[in-house]
Each structure stands twice: as structure tokens, then as C-alpha cells.
Amino acid sequence: MNKAICGCHTIRRRAFLADVGMGFTGLALGAMLQRDGMVRADTFAPPDGKPHFAPKAKNVIWLFMVGGTSHMESFDPKPALNQYAGKTISETPYAATLESPHLKRNLRELVAGLHAVQPKLFEMQVGHRKWGQSGLEFSDWWPNVGAVADELAIVRSIWTTDNDHGAQLQFHTGRHVLEGFHPTIGSWVHYGLGSLNDNLPQFVVLGTPLADCCGGVGGHSANYLGPQHNGVQLAVDPKQPLPFAQPAGQRYAEEQQAEFELLDNLDRLAGVEYPDDPALQARIKSYELAFRMQTAVPDVFQFNTETADTFKLYGVDQPTTKAFGEQCLAARRLVERGVRFVQIFHGSNGGAGAWDAHGGLKQGHSTLCGQVDQPIGALIQDLKRTGLLDETLVVWGTEFGRTPGAQGSDGRDHHPYGFSIWMAGGGIKKGVTHGATDELGFHAVENRHYVTDLHATVLHQLGLDPRRLEVPGRKRLEIDFGTPIREIIA
């Protein structure tokens, strides 16, 4: 064959290996190279993988309810809604709610007027009670979380600026969807701290991610930090946890190991000629990493080492809780193997999300709570039992709350003005609440916190100062950094 025609002579061996080696393993490889000092820059040194100050946590499990969970029917009950149900806000003693400067000051509407104030108050759709010795008061739909209430710090004064489901992206990046895509909290953690286990990705995504309408893969991407810091989506399936991670066809492990050894030997021979070539050293590491991951990743999802009691605890033995229970159990197994950040999505349905309760709130929320309450309670219990809760920060959140007023006959609209999140473990105070919405649950009025204050708290517990993670040429706004919520830090 004429080589000039086929062009084969133009492809160098090292270029070929670089091409075929790109892909999933590169995501974890970047953190390894960064840690080992192989990433070079003329004027900028990226983080070295070490915390800026003594951390109180090593890992994060981030639980995100897609669609907007009602704060009144979850972690911020409002008896006044029952007292004044059916009346308009103007007809109650709280008419001044509609005159608050917060109503327009921070709102950035994607479609003006699409989500107007719902004036007719809607009674709470579930009872509430005090839980644990701390007496934290929240919904009866969360009894298993109630059983671990003494581990929680509930923040009832979160606010955001998007009143549509772009708030899902904003919850993770801190930026309104109109400002485009930016690094997510998980990618900042990965960028700042790097790897604890070279056999596993350090930022893992479980469950169905955000739909394209609401941020898509931007909800777990690193954007300008580089793809090596993206979240890696895994499935709770030991046979195929990651697409394309396993060799094609019926290939024996020994055959593939021999292939990797051949490539390794060729690269090491070239290394004699180019001993200071970081790209060559990177390629050697990439093949070693790829081979190790094919064993380590499926092992996380081999639950046969877990006891029947553990399955029962997480609800893996029940159809309603099986899927989310497996994800929460996998999260525990990932953090105990050193994965830095595990992000679990619940309710993503190809659109706005299952928690989006414009109608049928009682039926919808009670069903969804039934899917997640037991696994989340089990996760906290299991982490505490194994001693991992002291070093693992668990975060529960959603993009916004729901309106105190009714939408239609039995729903609530989007509500960015005040809603709840909670945290547990990782050096966070136990059995406390912080911040407050007004009597109707409309505005965050006490100790208000924009969503990046949550990010700042997570980074602080991991020993990171977000101002020391800036990238040259990528100027961040003051609001991007947030302020740690020190009142809930132990």
C-alpha cells in the first residue's frame, strides 16, 4: 500500500496512544498528575491537593431533590397556613409580606410574570411534630430522617434568584442560568483537593442528572476548571457501572493486562530517551489507572458483602425504596473508599423534576418522601455506626421551595424567596436550626443565606478557602465565594 496515500506514516506511535487513551480515565488522571506535580504552567500553579487549613471533613454526600421540594411540607412547617387557609395574603395580619423589598430586589425572571405570587393561602398537606431530644420540628412525611434529627443542622433561610428550574443549575454553580455555565461545587472540591484513591473517580454522580432544560450535565461539570474535574456518572450495576469502561467482546483479563504491559514497556523504553517528558509519564499512569478502575469501580457496587440487616435498613429489600436505597448505600461505600464528593439526584424525569408540585402536592410529595426518607435516614445511621459521619458531610437540598399560596386547587408554585436545606456530620452542629422564614413561609427574614453560603460552608469544612482557588483570567464575583454559615459549625 502506498503510505503517501493512506497517510499512515504521519501518525506517530505516541500520538496514537494519546488519542486512544483519552476518555473516562482522563477525568481521574488529571487529579493524579496535579497531585504528583506533573502539570506545568508558566505562571500559575494549580492547587497541590492539600487543604488550606485543618479540615473537619474529608468527603461530601450531596443529596439533591429535583423539582423544588416544599419547605412547608418538609423542614419548615407553618401553622399559620392552616389558620388562614383560603384567605388571601392581603386578608391576613401578614399583608406586609407583599410589600417586602425582597419580592423584586433579588428576582431575575427568565420569563417575566410566568410565576406570579399566588395570593390565596393553601393549608399544609401533612402534619408535623418535634423529633429527637433536640425537638427539631418538621413534617410527618420524614419519620426516618426524624429518627436522626439530633444529627441535623437545618437552615431555613436559603434564597436564590431564579424562579424557574434553571435554579437547579444555580444551586450547584451559584450563578443564574442567564449567566451561563460555571464550575459546580463538586468540581471545586475536586479541583481543590484532588484524589484520595487513585483507583476511583473522585467526583461521582448517582441517579439521573438534571434534564437539559434545567442545566443538564452542567449540574455536575467543571466548566473552565477542565474536564478532569467533572463529575463521573456511575450506575448501581456491578456488571456495567460505567459505559465503555469494560473491554469489548469476550476478552480475558489476562489478555488485557498483557496489552497494558506491552504499552507500558513501550512507553518506558521511550522514557529512556525522554526522561523529563510529563506527557509521557501521564500516558503511563493513564493505562495503569484504566486497568485498576475496571476492578475497583464494579467492586463498589458488589453488595454481597453487606448484611441482610443493612439491606433492610436502607430499604433495598422493598420496591419503593430499592433504587434510592441502593444509591445511598453505594454512597457510603464510595466515601469509605476515599471518594471526595458523591452527588445523588432524586426525581429527575427528563423535565422539571418529580418534586415540581404545581398540582397534586399531597399525593406527589408523600410518594416521593416514601422513596427517599428511609434511605436518607439509613445513610446517616450507617455513617454514624461506622464512624464515617465525623468526617463525611451530608447535605440535603433542592432548587427552591414552594409558594405558601395555592396554585390551582391542590398545588404550589415555585418559590425562590425562602426555603430550607440541612446538613449533618463533618463538623456541623447537631440538632439545631438556623435562620427563619416569616410566619407564612414566604420570605427568608432571619440570617438570610444565598446558595453560595452553603457552598462556602462545604468548602470550609473541607479546609478550603474559595478565594485561593481562583483561576487566572476567570474573575469571580463577590457573591460566588459566599460566606460560611458559622452558626452551624461545631
My answer on whether 178 and 222 are in the same domain is: yes
My answer on whether 214 and 361 are in the same domain is: yes
Please state, in angstroms and as integers, the Cα–Cα distance from residue 4 to each residue in 10, 12, 14, 105, following that order.
Answer: 9, 15, 20, 66
Q: What is the pLDDT of residue 236?
A: 93
My answer on whether 220 and 353 are in the same domain is: yes
Q: What is the pLDDT of residue 176?
A: 95
Quick check: is 256 in a domain?
A: no
Q: What is the pLDDT of residue 475?
A: 87
Give the residue-averaged pLDDT of 338-361: 97
Quick check: is 485 in a domain?
A: no
My answer on whether 168 and 182 are in the same domain is: yes
My answer on whether 178 and 291 are in the same domain is: no
Q: Does pLDDT of 104 surpass 90?
A: no
Q: What is the pLDDT of residue 40?
A: 47
Q: Does pLDDT of 18 surpass 80?
A: no
Calculate helix-pair angle for 451-461, 185-193, nearest 10 degrees.
20
Give the residue-averaged pLDDT of 277-299: 66
Most confidently modeled range among 4-18, 111-125, 252-266, 431-445: 431-445
My answer on whether 296 and 310 are in the same domain is: no
Residue 187 is part of a domain; what is its CATH number? 3.40.720
457: region left, alpha or beta (phi > 0 left; psi from -120 to 50 alpha):
alpha
Alpha helix ranges (H) inside 274-342: 278-300, 308-314, 319-336
State percent of the chain over pLDDT 70: 81
Which stretch of DSSP H or E encloses residue 31? helix 24-36
Please state, in angstroms and as integers, the Cα–Cα distance from residue 367 to each residue in 142, 281, 355, 463, following that order.
Answer: 11, 52, 10, 38
Helix, strand or coil, per DSSP, at residue 350: coil
Kindly report the backbone phi and psi dihedral angles of residue 170, in degrees, each rounded to the nearest multiple of 5, phi listed first.
-60, -35
My answer on whether 88 and 167 are in the same domain is: yes
Q: What is the pLDDT of residue 239?
A: 81
Which stretch of DSSP H or E encloses residue 397? strand 392-398
Q: What is the pLDDT of residue 314?
A: 98
Quick check: is 474 in a domain?
A: no
Specify the pTM: 0.86
Quick check: is 185 in a domain?
A: yes
- 160-174, pLDDT tens digit by residue? 999 999 999 999 999
My answer on whether 338 and 444 are in the same domain is: yes
| Side-chain half-sphere CA neighbours of 193 within 13 A | 34
Q: Does pLDDT of 3 surpass 70?
A: no
Q: Please give the residue range of the domain that contains residue 68.
A: 49-236+304-469
My answer on whether 282 and 412 are in the same domain is: no
Give the residue with greater pLDDT, 286 vs 114: 114
Q: What is the pLDDT of residue 296?
A: 84
Give the residue-averaged pLDDT of 144-171: 97
- Judge whether 231 and 64 are in contact, CB under 8 Å: no
My answer on whether 125 and 18 are in the same domain is: no
* Residues 6+ away with beta carbon under 8 Å from 204: 231, 232, 233, 234, 334, 339, 341, 342, 343
Lowest mean pLDDT among 75-89, 237-251, 424-438: 237-251
Q: What is the pLDDT of residue 226?
A: 87
Quick check: is 250 in a domain?
A: no
How many domains does one find in the chain? 2
- 206-245, pLDDT tens digit by residue? 999 999 999 999 999 999 998 888 999 999 988 888 765 5
Give the residue-averaged pLDDT of 42-69: 92
Q: Does pLDDT of 147 surpass 60?
A: yes
d(C-alpha 421, C-alpha 424), whole Å: 11
My answer on whether 364 and 288 are in the same domain is: no
Residue 268 — pLDDT band, cuts 50, 70, 90?
low
Quick check: is 404 in a domain?
A: yes
Which stretch of DSSP H or E encloses residue 362? helix 361-385
- Judge whether 442 and 33 are in contact, CB under 8 Å: no
My answer on whether 106 and 32 are in the same domain is: no
Average pLDDT of every residue of the chain: 88
Give the residue-averaged pLDDT of 375-394: 98
Give the residue-averaged pLDDT of 283-297: 67
Give the residue with greater pLDDT, 201 vs 449: 449
* Residues 6+ away with beta carbon under 8 Å from 388: 59, 332, 335, 336, 425
Q: Does pLDDT of 158 surpass 70?
A: yes
448, 395, 439: which is closest to 417 by C-alpha? 448
430, 423, 470: which is closest to 449 by C-alpha? 423
What's the full length of the chain, in residues? 490
Give the residue-averaged pLDDT of 314-331: 98
d(C-alpha 389, C-alpha 375), whole Å: 15
Quick check: is 207 in a domain?
A: yes
- List residues bridging with 205 in a β-sheet: 233, 343
**Radius of gyration of the chain, Cα coordinates, nearest whole angstrom:** 24
